[in-house]
Structure formats: C-alpha cells, structure tokens
Structure 1
Amino acid sequence: MSTQIIENNGVPEYAVVPIADYRVLMEKAEMLDDVAAFDKAEAILAAGEDELVSSDIVDLLLANVNAVKVWREYRGLSQATLADAAGLSQAYIAQIETGKREGRVDAYRAIANVLKVNIDDLV
C-alpha cells in the first residue's frame, strides 16, 4: 500500500491512499463493526437481557395479531393465568386481546412484567 501523507505546518493531517486500498480498508472496517455488533448481541442474549423468537411470532406481530395474545400464547399461559399473575380479571385480558378494550397503562405494565417483555412490545 502506497500512502501519501499531507502535512499542515509539519503535522500529518491527511493520508492519501489508492482507491483499491481504500476500498479494502473500508470493507475491513465494516467487518469489524459487524463483528462488534454480533459480539454485543451475543453478550446481551447470554445475560438474559433479550431473547430470540421464531419468525412465526414475528409474522403474527407484523400481521397485527394482538400482541398480548401472541406473547401470552408464546409463554404458554392461559388468559386466566396471565390475569391472576398480573392482578387483573380474565375478562379484562380477553377484552384487551379482542380489541374491545384498550387497557390502562398500569394494566399493560403488569401484563408486560408477567410476560417478560417491554411494555412497548405490547402497544
């Protein structure tokens, strides 16, 4: 790699490299960024701060199936079990899941806590 150094008042300020070398350097820098992002994601998963879900769950959420219902079923909970753990009634959970009721913020917070998701994942 041939590099031309341009100085300003005797201090190196710029390095000029052939375009082919520049492209190789950029590719390697992008690869390092990708590796760092992958390592960070692995660490977050290993620490239990996030989880992987199947594409089936993602597809349901993207199809606008009620998120409370999707996550409840994914966690293997009945409406009654979720309601009991969240301090709500089963009817209230059913109304949220069917869209007959929007639900209060405190209710969503309790539901999110039981389902181990962020409240933003439900609304």
Structure 2
Amino acid sequence: MGKEHNTVQYIQTAAGERLAVIPEAEYQRMVEALEDRQDIKATRKIMARLKDGTEELIPTEFVNRLIDGENAIKVWREFRGMSADDLAEKVGISVNDLSAIETGDGDGSFGSIKKIAAALRISVDDLA
C-alpha cells in the first residue's frame, strides 16, 4: 500500500464523534475493494447452488427465446431435451392438448400447468 495511508486526518465533531478523513482516491479504492468482496461472496453462493443443484445455468439461446416471447413451455421443454410426446405422457395430457397450449390455441387448466412445471423442474412462475 502506498504513502496515501499516512495522510489520514482525524477531526472531531461538535457532538464528540471522531472522524477519519482520507484522500478520495483511497476512499474509492476501499469502495471498490468492498464491492469486489461482495461480488465474490455472491459468486460463491451461486457456485454452491449450482453444485447442490438448486441453481442451473441456462444457455443464452434459450434465455433469448424466452425474452422474445416464445412460448415458455416449449422453450423449457426443448431445453430439457424432451419431445412433446415425452412431456405430454409425463403430465398425463394428450399431445394435442400440449400442442394447443404451446401454440396459444389453448390455455390448459391450472392443474395441467402445475404438472407441466413440475415435469420441467421449474416453478409455475417460470411459465408466466
């Protein structure tokens, strides 16, 4: 660390609180170090969630499709590597019903949507 650490000035307020005044460059360095530490802590949390399976990475291709408004069930189904037949069978609905939901020609019951979300290992909110 440089000589700027020797330029700390102490002042006392009227209320008796003692304050340390440091050069702005040193203050900025301290703020950046704190932000770096917070970033490292957040990264460690995400890495732990990835390791234990409570978090997953989704390729940009699929994220962009969701952002662009493509049907979320279809995007998640394809991300999971499932065919429409696979998902329909797992959920207990016909492929035609699933197709209607994915194309927007049908809404599907809330119960079906919950089953679809569970089969895709996502929350119902991820389909909204």
| TM-score exceeds 0.5 | yes
Q: Does 2:83 correspond to 1:74?
A: no
Runs of 4+ in structure 1 displaced over 4 angstroms? 7-11
1:54 is matched with which residue: 50, 59, 70? 59
The one-letter amino acid of 1:115's match is L
Matched, 1:108 2:117: no
Please give the alpha-carbon distance, in whole angstroms, between the structure 2 residues aligned to 1:37 and 1:104.
Answer: 38
Q: Distance in 2 between matches of 1:103 and 1:17?
A: 63
Instruction: Please state whether the residue corresponding to 1:15 is helix, strand or coil.
Output: strand
Question: What TM-score do the two structures reach when normalised by structure 1?
Answer: 0.88
CA shift digits 1:63-119 (9 cap, x unpaired): 211110111112121222211211222222111100011222222111111111121
Count of residue pairs brought into register by the alignment:
122
Larger Rg: 2
Match of residue 98, structure 1, among 95, 103, 122:
103
Aligned counterpart for 1:43 among listed residues 48, 55, 58: 48
Question: Secondary structure in 1 aligned to 2:88?
Answer: helix
Matched residue type, 1:97 = E
The two structures have a TM-score, normalised by structure 2, of 0.85
| Residue of structure 1 equivalent to 2:31 | 26
State the distance in 2 between where 1:121 and 1:15 align: 49
Unaligned 5+ residue runs, structure 2? none
Q: Which structure 1 segments of 5+ residues have no match?
A: none
Q: What secondary structure sits across from 2:20 in the alignment?
A: strand
Percent identity (aligned): 37
Matched, 1:89 2:94: yes
**Which of 75-84 and 24-33 deviates more?**
75-84
Q: Establish whether residue 16 from structure 1 lines up as the match of residue 21 from structure 2.
A: yes
